[in-house]
Structure 1
């Protein structure tokens, strides 16, 4: 599991002064940002991302912007007639980079939080995403309430370790990687593990494993509402993004994108 993914959801942002310095270092003094229009010239919108699959990343083979958020912004941009440019930085510096006008909009599975709303404006919610519960394929466990007294697993250094500690398991086993975590389920070293739902969903889409299953339906303990972020004074861009998002949500493509990356109807926000 990418550690950037964990930071974006559950860790505090770095102090703003430090973040600005990091953002300036990351982009270089010659980098430009901001939307550009010139008469009839096609508008270019620069998105900021930490380049994490399955959320918003550049495909190394094709150079195309991919991921849940990436394909959603592509769809909105296509409907608006915009070109999309990508600015990449560490997740912790994305808000600073946005405020420094290195990019126009943050598109990177960013949770909408009260602290972040003090710094930037968010669009309407794009989708919801939290943790998933993964069990062996023949397991009868159906919710967090069923795991008391069971052997539970999580990945080292994640908030999911705190979650499993609170569930009353007979034992908690920690693993250094997502692969090791899933192998423990497959080999029945654990009865259930908890991990990021988008990451595990995407992993199982890419490489199905009949020995594992996601508990479904499942109500996350750490639910998150995802949005795109813009500067406080960029009110027109915010309106344009929201109108484009509404069009996308009213089309079949919205659910198609979610399913492509291992999410589904439970993650939709109408």
Structure 2
């Protein structure tokens, strides 16, 4: 496949995945999307499965359920019916049926603590030598109105060491173009504490904080939404970030009086453990919040 065609294929599949995450609370019409992208629905399905290893319908179903599972934990005052609607289900009955098939328990049982055992099996996948003894229980967030960001990105399926290659490619782009003023952002489409690590979509992003011709950027782009976020300043080693996320979602947020939204959490690096020699990170982690 020619380079231009390869870039076009990547743009279609990445734009489609981004659209799914952005509109997971609504009916997603694939006929309309294929027309918007200028390709047949058959070709769109084929490109998507080739890129992500799963068909579009399976992906939509999985994202809906993973997001619902997260909201059941964090949004204590939202009814099951409301969470079903927030994640694109037309009825509570169809949501409960799909949830039970995925997680082998009802949404109510999950919310009442069933998620803990499920999460623990994921946390146990982390090698002990990739974490430290750091804890985050004493962190106190700052509530901030964050701006929107236009980011250029590389998407990676799985939370694993191969993420480093994404950051190295972004680094090669900035160095090769003598770009000095930029920010590194990691976007978490999924909660890696309740989504199996090999299914998580991790997005390595850069924000260009200096003028640069967008036509010369060989990377797809999208906008991270602005809004009200809780900001946590944290340090750690390698997979300690998963400890931070677990504490924020499982402990801080349910007890905080806030709820989260269908927007995505993200972090901004001061020191990126995937690019330095020590494996230590320094960052600010942002989670969207609302008052119920």
Greater helix share, structure number: 2
TM-score (norm 1): 0.25
Which one scores higher on RCO, CA 8 angstroms, separation ≥ 6? 1
